[in-house]
Amino acid sequence: MIIAIDGPAASGKGTLSRLVAEHFRLAWLDTGSLYRAVGLKMLRNGDDPADREAAEKAAKSLNPNELTNSELKTEVVGLAASKVAAIPEVRQALVGFQRSFAQTPPGGAQGAVLDGRDIGTVVCPDADFKVYVTASPEARAHRRFLELRDKGDTVTEQEVLAMTRERDARDTNRGESPLKTAEDAYLLDTTNLSIDAAFAALKVYISGSSN
Ligand code: C5P
């Protein structure tokens, strides 16, 4: 069973994907971590994340142990990730790993949940279930702001909103695998939904029951 969960930054798709994977005992791949790891590698090397050749090299040499660094979750790395993610050679270098994770999930799991921007449209167009999770930019920026503040980050809500809009624009307008709703996706708007309510809706969509 393959479940594709796409949507913009801070829509709640990461938390929901983890809950869905745990509930249905499936392997989970946060595909944003791949692009973030490439972005982080480039920042560390002092490279411009928009440098095609350097980005392709960084993507091709990516190692699974680079996907768990806590620095990956920062806004700066998210912005760098959205720049490398617009480079077709980077996407090509990363798609094989994502497809093989979906086809042959690790740990003997009977299926996988992949979350990202293009899972239902490009990486796994034949997924059994496709979800598009969204929320207003203001709601998403507010959630992200609270998360960052809890971690001691001094960024303002206005700055987070500006970065959210910048990332949305880049993800939606790029030529290669842009962020968009797959035609057959279940649309879940979490603007006014708690995580519990959104998760209950997903369970009904996937298994017909909220238990
Ligand atoms: O989901 P997350 O915020 O971690 O993703 C970071 C960036 O990686 C996104 O802004 C997007 O540009 C890129 N991305 C992508 N395709 C995916 C997952 C993430 O282009 N499947």
CATH number at residue 131: 3.40.50.300
Residue 189: predicted pLDDT:
97
The answer to the question of residue 25 being in a domain is yes
Residue 16: predicted pLDDT:
98
Residue 209: predicted pLDDT:
84
Q: Whose CA is nearest to atom 1 of ligand 1?
A: 32
Residue of 117, 160, 174 to mutate, ligand 1, most atoms within 8 A of C-beta: 117
Q: Which domain range does residue 49 map to?
A: 2-200
In terms of Cα–Cα distance, which of 191, 211, 193, 182 is closest to 5? 182
The answer to the question of residue 206 being in a domain is no
User: Each residue of 60-100: pLDDT tens digit?
Assistant: 999 989 999 989 988 899 999 999 999 999 999 999 999 99
**Per-residue pLDDT band at 198 (split at 50, 70, 90):** very high
The answer to the question of residue 67 being in a domain is yes
| Centre of ligand 1 from the C-alpha of residue 90, in Å | 12
What is the C-alpha to C-alpha distance for residues 122 and 182, in angstroms, rounded to an integer? 9
Q: What is the mean pLDDT of the chain?
A: 95
* Proportion of the chain above pLDDT 70, given as a percent: 100
The answer to the question of residue 35 being in a domain is yes
User: Per the structure, how many domains does the chain have?
Assistant: 1
| Centre of ligand 1 from the C-alpha of residue 32, in Å | 4
CA distances 207 to 3, 111, 131, 167, 181, Å, are 12, 14, 14, 33, 21
Residue 122: predicted pLDDT:
97
User: Each residue of 14-52: pLDDT tens digit?
Assistant: 999 999 999 999 999 999 999 999 999 999 999 999 999
Residue of 82, 95, 133, 148 to mutate, ligand 1, most atoms within 8 A of C-beta: 82
Judge if the beta carbon of residue 35 lies within 6 A of ligand 1.
yes
Judge if the beta carbon of residue 80 lies within 6 A of ligand 1.
no
Judge if the beta carbon of residue 12 lies within 6 A of ligand 1.
no
**Per-residue pLDDT band at 169 (split at 50, 70, 90):** very high
The answer to the question of residue 42 being in a domain is yes
Residue 160: predicted pLDDT:
94
Residue 116: predicted pLDDT:
97
Residue of 35, 43, 172 to mutate, ligand 1, most atoms within 8 A of C-beta: 35
What is the C-alpha to C-alpha distance for residues 8 and 159, in angstroms, rounded to an integer? 17
Atom of ligand 1 nearest to the CA of 98: 21
Judge if the beta carbon of residue 32 lies within 6 A of ligand 1.
yes
Task: List the structure tokens of 204.
Answer: 């009904």
∠ CA 61-83-106, nearest 5°, is 45
The answer to the question of residue 211 being in a domain is no
Mean pLDDT for 183-188 is 97
Q: Which amino acid is at 75?
A: E
For residue 185, the 8-state DSSP code is P
In this structure, are residues 54 and 138 in contact, taking their beta carbons and an 8 Å threshold?
Answer: no
The answer to the question of residue 209 being in a domain is no
What is the C-alpha to C-alpha distance for residues 104 and 96, in angstroms, rounded to an integer? 12
pLDDT at 131 over 90: yes
Question: Helix (H, G, I), strand (E, B), or coil: what is residue 118?
Answer: coil
